[in-house]
Structure 1
């Protein structure tokens, strides 16, 4: 039996579980998927090292073995050893979340440091090639192949395959929330197959949201041993005292089940959660969110450098879009609007104009046709949007000028959605926490449905980003933004 913190649909702490606990037999698909990842990493590393070694070694064939062969073999061996030591192949982190890529990055960084120290010790003149070319190339290739494998796994899960059978145990309300989330996000890999409640009944008698209620909470361990569930998800209920949870953990020993417990802090996850043992008592320690410091400085530097590179890369496209906007309708190329940034400071956001001139003044006439959520005004078929504007909005091309806002430091590449001043004025104390960080060109809201999201869900995602921000999470969001933009989901 494996015990751990909250995982799966509740939060992103799944990758933070202790790997020593992963000892129970895995499903066949889990074993196959892990073998596929390991094999792909080994093949990718070997191909990159061989390609670089052959290309540069061919110029000095006489000294191939001395100069290139040993370094090539040593680099490959070092990378694979770092992946093993960093537990980058642990089943708990494969297939979802940012932790998989965080461990992969940490492994490659470790390999780089060890290789550099080895080069200094051996006074090798050829070590720079492997540090600055080989390992970055290995990183790009391995991250790409892992992402492709993850896409395949998520596709299988959407079709009902490669899912872990779960027995949920708690109050009907909290179990209902869990069932809703697992159905909404099948890529997380959970399928609730049975439920236990305090009295053994659900709102529909012997069913809860179509899932059979198989018994009472006191009978939980017996059902697990008899039916072989892979996950026991314990959700909040007055029944769960510390003594009963401990006895449940003992009673599950000898089974193949992973026991996961939902903490009260539902939206705090990722690197801020730590499990410590103090005086023999397991405590869930929540560190403060980081709004300053070295990581934030790195983020600011990456934002400005990334914005500058993207502006150079997209310069021809932006020139074409600007010309199209001018030829399509009267008005300027850019649309300027006041938005609220970090700490409530207002700034002027830049966009390509997608509406006819005087569109803002006509908004009052369309108030009764508002389809937006909460404080947002949105219309799927807004008559003010131009023909070119429709295309630009669908693929988010109208937002490219915001790279200038990122370059000047008013925005970040990743962050909460930048609100209008009237929206910000209506914020309560909780929602105002969105203003603790810079707004972003993209964010969790962008990759989760954009305008299709309910207002409450958009706020929840923004607050989750503020609380649980990390460089790895930014990387995942940027990666997923490209797919969201291509599909155009929720854009209007």
Structure 2
């Protein structure tokens, strides 16, 4: 039986770069020269230049904050002007800066698997900085260096903040480069049509500038005169470059940086192992994408036992110390917010009161943790008789699933439209959070009618308190499908963390300023 032919010509399984010394020959080796498709605008070359820029700015930030600390030292010791300081005093800032720069490199804070992925990059920068000053603290204690305290009080906090800000600004710049087709890695996705479409969609939506998918290798390549040689995903059209048997050859021909295996392709582990062998000697990475990460992402841990790679999935906990800390964050943040936002709340209340008849606040029964109901507060954004007129508008519902949403709802007042657009109508829910009905971050608070229509697994949304904001708020709100809304909420319920909550709160501020899906 002859092998199926790829849609686009490929170069067998010929790798780029260094070849392995031993290789099984299963087919004639082509002598066709592989076309170099990696350019300064995308892939390895552009990514290397980007990381070089990161390195330069990291060094600049560290030298700057250490210099500020040195100025502080010389200012405090007015009796010893900088020009007359002994040589030992100059060794301290040099040692601090050198150690910091080396540690950032040792932690791979600019590594290809870290750069541009958000929280992981920031965590490594913070951890590297903390380790730097931990080592310096021990060294200075042993050597009894007295003037080192200023570096811990000035350079460390200022450096961590500035490095994080610098990385954030670079990340924003990196995201803007997508419009110029600048990406850190060029990739092909391998697997079944459904799995490939899902992975490509997720990459385009969430990976930022990390990957640019330039082709797909499918287990079943379309045949016939009317078969499409491209894969439609959203508003993109991805070329089908090969079948599974020729995926490595297509990767070599296209000169990609990454081969992503989506889901469970035909052939299973045998296919993946063979693909890894064929990619040996190339610069392409092999990446496996499993939908298990959609369910239990941060709860997945790998533990090899005698060569057997076991995947541990932690069972989610809905009680314990982590939840106590979450409640403490709710109380402190909401108490401070009520005081800080009191003038704004008063202005909104007056605007509602004088622009439409009826109460300032709208109270509605919602379902909270473990199915307990509570009265959720909102600034009234509709006419006072809005609930009475709901039945007339049911036929025009534009909401997903069990939700009722209408973009141009005639019941919404003029001031209410502005409040809804920027989520200001939800500010009274700070009180619900303060008294314990809700949390700052959590699933969307559902109506009792919604809950009665839930499928069994959807009831897991009620395992924790609903949130003032959440995954649904920062991922499209009313534009989300019902299935996507449930998926996001269930993912949060089982995988939330305090660091993740802070990230969601930060992203909520950006959504409020640039609203998407709010009506």
Tell me the TM-score normalized by structure 2: 0.81
- String of CA shifts for 1:173-226, please: whole Å, max 9, x gaps: 222222333344462533332222234337934333243323321222222233
Partner of residue 46, structure 1: 63
Three-state SS of the structure 2 residue aligned to 1:62 is coil
- String of CA shifts for 1:3-36, please: whole Å, max 9, x gaps: xxxxxxxxxxxxxxxxxxxxxx961221122222
Q: CA deviation at 1:373?
A: 1.0
Contact 1:416 1:465 in 2 (8 A): yes
- String of CA shifts for 1:35-61, please: whole Å, max 9, x gaps: 222332332333334335434642432
Counterpart of 1:31 (choices 48, 62, 82) is: 48
Contact 2:174 2:209 in 1 (8 A): no
Counterpart of 1:136 (choices 150, 157, 165) is: 157
Partner of residue 394, structure 1: 421
Q: CA deviation at 1:427?
A: 1.6
Further displaced range: 131-140 or 373-382: 131-140
- String of CA shifts for 1:98-141, please: whole Å, max 9, x gaps: 21222233334434555666676677777765545543332322
Partner of residue 193, structure 2: 172
Q: CA deviation at 1:252?
A: 0.9
Contact 2:72 2:150 in 1 (8 A): no
Q: CA deviation at 1:76?
A: 4.3
Contact 2:364 2:377 in 1 (8 A): yes
Partner of residue 354, structure 1: 381
Counterpart of 1:327 (choices 340, 343, 354) is: 354
Partner of residue 423, structure 1: 450
Counterpart CA distance in 2 for 1:156 and 1:144 is: 19
Partner of residue 478, structure 1: 505
Equivalent positions of 1:98-247 (< 5 A) are 98-111=119-132, 113-114=134-135, 130-131=151-152, 134-162=155-183, 164-185=185-206, 187-201=208-222, 204-209=227-232, 210-237=237-264, 239-247=266-274
Contact 2:43 2:185 in 1 (8 A): no
Three-state SS of the structure 2 residue aligned to 1:260 is strand
Counterpart CA distance in 1 for 2:331 and 2:147 is: 32
Partner of residue 90, structure 1: 111
Partner of residue 37, structure 2: none
Q: CA deviation at 1:148?
A: 1.5
Q: CA deviation at 1:158?
A: 3.8
RMSD of Structure 2 on Structure 1 (CA): 2.9
Counterpart CA distance in 2 for 1:106 and 1:113 is: 10
Counterpart CA distance in 2 for 1:271 and 1:286 is: 9
Decide which structure has the larger Cα Rg and report it: 2
Pair 1:304 & 2:321 matched? no
Counterpart CA distance in 1 for 2:485 and 2:241 is: 35
Counterpart CA distance in 2 for 1:125 and 1:323 is: 58
Equivalent positions of 1:377-416 (< 5 A) are 377-416=404-443
Q: CA deviation at 1:276?
A: 2.3
Count of aligned pairs: 469
Contact 2:442 2:467 in 1 (8 A): yes
Further displaced range: 452-461 or 473-482: 473-482
Task: Go from structure 1 to structure 2 and tell me whether the alpha carbon gap of 1:158 and 1:70 turns closer, same or farther (over 3 Å shift).
Answer: same
Three-state SS of the structure 2 residue aligned to 1:255 is coil
Counterpart CA distance in 2 for 1:410 and 1:127 is: 48
Counterpart CA distance in 2 for 1:468 and 1:188 is: 25
Counterpart CA distance in 2 for 1:352 and 1:275 is: 48
Tell me the TM-score normalized by structure 1: 0.85
Counterpart CA distance in 1 for 2:323 and 2:97 is: 33
Q: CA deviation at 1:329?
A: 1.7
Counterpart of 1:255 (choices 262, 273, 282) is: 282
- String of CA shifts for 1:415-441, please: whole Å, max 9, x gaps: 211112221222222212222222222
Task: Go from structure 1 to structure 2 and tell me whether the alpha carbon gap of 1:126 and 1:339 turns closer, same or farther (over 3 Å shift).
Answer: farther
5+ residue gaps, structure 1, are 2-24
Contact 1:411 1:440 in 2 (8 A): yes
Q: CA deviation at 1:257?
A: 1.0
5+ residue gaps, structure 2, are 1-14, 16-41
Three-state SS of the structure 1 residue aligned to 2:456 is coil
Partner of residue 5, structure 1: none
Counterpart CA distance in 2 for 1:333 and 1:120 is: 61
- String of CA shifts for 1:317-354, please: whole Å, max 9, x gaps: 22222222222222222222222222222222222221
Counterpart CA distance in 1 for 2:354 and 2:137 is: 55
Counterpart CA distance in 2 for 1:469 and 1:197 is: 35
Contact 1:206 1:212 in 2 (8 A): yes
